């Protein structure tokens, strides 16, 4: 195997780990037990901040997933993936 196939493989692993981390950091659609633990005392400002962070994480998820897909397609076209 050539050195560039290892490099592309490392990029794929890195992007996969980033996608996993960003998705896990996002808040779920259903709060579940977190409202019970915090006492449901979310202030107006904390709710807005949570939405802003979720929007940024959603944007990051989209772009990292697109880059991951492009790297996979590029590796396939170059014949690096069997």
Ramachandran region, residue 73 (left: φ > 0; alpha: ψ -120 to 50; beta: rest): alpha
**For position 8, what pLDDT does the model report?**
84
Bigger pLDDT: 53 or 14?
A: 14
Decide if 62 contacts 54 (C-beta within 8 A): no
CA-based R_g, the chain, Å: 18
**For position 69, what pLDDT does the model report?**
92
**For position 70, what pLDDT does the model report?**
92
* 82 has pLDDT over 70: no
For 53-61, what is the mean pLDDT? 87
**For position 52, what pLDDT does the model report?**
82
- The answer to pTM > 0.75 is no
| CA separation for the pair 69, 73 (Å, rounded) | 6
Q: Tokens at residue 3, please?
A: 């050195």
């Amino acid at each position: 195997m050539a050195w560039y196939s290892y490099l592309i493989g490392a990029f794929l692993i890195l992007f996969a780990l980033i996608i996993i981390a960003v998705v896990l950091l996002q808040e779920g659609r259903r709060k579940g037990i977190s409202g019970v633990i915090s006492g449901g005392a979310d202030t107006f400002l904390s709710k807005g901040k949570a939405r802003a962070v979720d929007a940024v994480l959603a944007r990051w998820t989209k772009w990292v997933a697109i880059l991951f897909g492009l790297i996979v397609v590029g590796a396939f076209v170059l014949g690096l993936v069997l």
